[in-house]
Amino acid sequence: MQHLFIDYIVLILIILALVMVANKLRLAYPIVLVLGGLALSLTDEFSQITISPDLVFLIFLPPLLYEAAWQVSWKEFWRWRRVITSFAFPIVIVTSCVIALVSHALIPGFTLSLGFLLGGIISPPDAISATTIMRQVNVPKPLVSIAEGESLLNDASSLIVFRFALAAVITGQFQASEAATSFLLVVLMGISIGLLVGVLFYIVHRWLPTTPSIDIVLTLVTPYCMYYAAEHFHFSGVLAVVSGGLLLSSKRQSLLTYQSRIQSVNVWGSFVFVLNGLVFMLIGLQLPSIVQQLGTISLSTAIGYGLVISLVLIATRLLCTIGASYFTRIASRFITVAESNPGWKNPLILGWAGMRGVVSLAAAISIPLVIREGEAFPLRNLILFITFIVILATLVFQGLTLPWLIRKLKLEADPAVVPEQQQELIIRQTISRKSLQFLEKTGLSTPYLTNLSERLTIDLAGLDQKAGGAGNSNALGDYQRTYLELLQQQRTWLSEINRQTDFDEDLIRKHLSLIDLEELKIREKLVQEDEPER
């Protein structure tokens, strides 16, 4: 146990080094980590590192999904809801069906149930890789929003397909009507449980005397509670985490204090970074054990199966995304859509951004070793190997060529969207103007408040900030109390601005974070001044 723990510590250090290499080479770090894991798998020290199939979903999936739900802009999610849902459900189901038929025809002894199982495993793209690359090459914001939103729902839809296919393989029975009813029940109850658990944790955060440390620990526990509660009753734990995460994310300003928000960003960023690093590294490390267990199937034959399935997967997603674009153009004649003419460039980028990763690996490894006592799961290791080849092929091939494709297509920003720099200017002008109005209404006049008004006036005029001023302790107290009230008003104004569709929610969140930092500085000064009196 101690030796294994030390191995994982060394593994994390290697991950950090490889990520630094990826940043230096300007590559998406998941690609480098997979290749690094593949290289480490050839060594005796790391080739035996594996993880129990029963614990894969419970350890990795809940926090990764929860953090993704917190990062997704609900406003953008709702704006592109039709595109996101069409990608997350129909495309996943179509992909699963195509993979089932192709694998059944291609691989001897591969039943349709096993084909749907494989389809459920490899149908969801990995948003981490796609969005990392997209942000590096500065693609239009809608593409990133759609990729992030799709990742939340397609994980759930693919794992539901995986669950029913797994049950069909184990029992040898599959009834369409019963499956459809069970599908709806699993979806609706999973969402309901996630919302219920989310409300319970909201009550704890909101009305119990928590501290920042308690708040952060609660956020770390929340996704596991959501997932386990839903899975305990045999409903969708993935949808529970997604729905509960979106609910709490939308309430973040009232859910957490400014201190909790500041600290949780760093804690969660580091936590998810380590989890993602471990998972991508484990993808590469699994190869030797999978190859050794292929049995009578030769390595070259298994690689051939994996490459064919990878090509089919890439082609199917491209056809689906481009087809969805033409369908949207037709549908825009009858209903209101976010973009009536998406063209072919954006769908092509989204289609090519279908790299597979974390969820596919987790699903493949979680396949049970035996169906029933004494009977091994049929072709389990071949399914794992094909999944590995698909992940490797899509991550390396599509991941390395996606930046080139984006630059080649020369994507243009939507002219109807206010440019980001202009949004930034409008936000600062609005906050400064309303802040000055607020200070005028207070009727207070102290050297500190006068200085603040002057500073805001300079900000509004676009000049450099000036700081300074002096006065007695009462004046300083009035300044600090009024400034804290002003910061709270600024949060309210930013929320009002965020309701307008023209503004990017990420920019709004950035300014909310700056307000949190400003409040932290003011309150720390108050604490320092109170300490001598005690």
User: pLDDT tens digits, residue range 262-295?
Assistant: 888 889 989 988 988 888 887 778 777 777 777 7
Q: Which of 363, 379, 409 is the last residue of a domain?
A: 409
- Mean pLDDT computed over 445-470: 64
Check which CATH number belongs to the domain holding 58 and give it: 1.20.1530.20
> Is the per-residue pLDDT at 474 higher than 70?
no
Query: Which of 27-31, 122-126, 137-141, 227-231 has the least mean pLDDT?
Result: 137-141
Same domain, 352 and 450: no
Nearest Cα residue to 460 out of 493, 432, 418, 500 = 432
Alpha carbon distance 104, 439 (integer Å): 72
> Is the per-residue pLDDT at 532 higher than 80?
no
Helix, strand, coil % in the chain, rounded to nearest 5: 80, 0, 20
- Mean pLDDT computed over 53-71: 79
Select, from the ranges 19-33, 210-224, 379-393, the one with the highest average predicted confidence (pLDDT).
Answer: 210-224
Which pTM was predicted?
0.75
Contacts of 387 (CB under 8 A, 6+ apart): 118, 121, 122, 356, 360, 361, 363, 364
* Torsion region of 138: left, alpha or beta (phi above 0 gives left; psi -120 to 50 gives alpha): left
Alpha carbon distance 494, 507 (integer Å): 10
pLDDT at 192: 94
Same domain, 391 and 435: no
Query: pLDDT category, 258, cuts 50, 70, 90?
Result: confident
Compute the mean pLDDT over every residue in the chain, rounded to the nearest whole number: 81
Q: Which of residues 67 and 46 earns the better pLDDT score?
A: 67
Q: Which of 389, 409, 429 is the last residue of a domain?
A: 409
Query: pLDDT category, 219, cuts 50, 70, 90?
Result: very high
pLDDT at 19: 92
Contacts of 461 (CB under 8 A, 6+ apart): none
Q: Which of 409, 440, 467 is the last residue of a domain?
A: 409
> Is the per-residue pLDDT at 465 higher than 60?
no
Residue 263 lies in a domain: no
Query: Which of 124-133, 448-457, 506-515 has the least mean pLDDT?
Result: 124-133
Nearest Cα residue to 511 out of 424, 436, 452 = 424
Same domain, 314 and 441: no
Same domain, 305 and 436: no
Q: Which domain holds residue 460?
A: 420-533
Alpha carbon distance 465, 474 (integer Å): 25
> Is the per-residue pLDDT at 176 higher than 70?
no
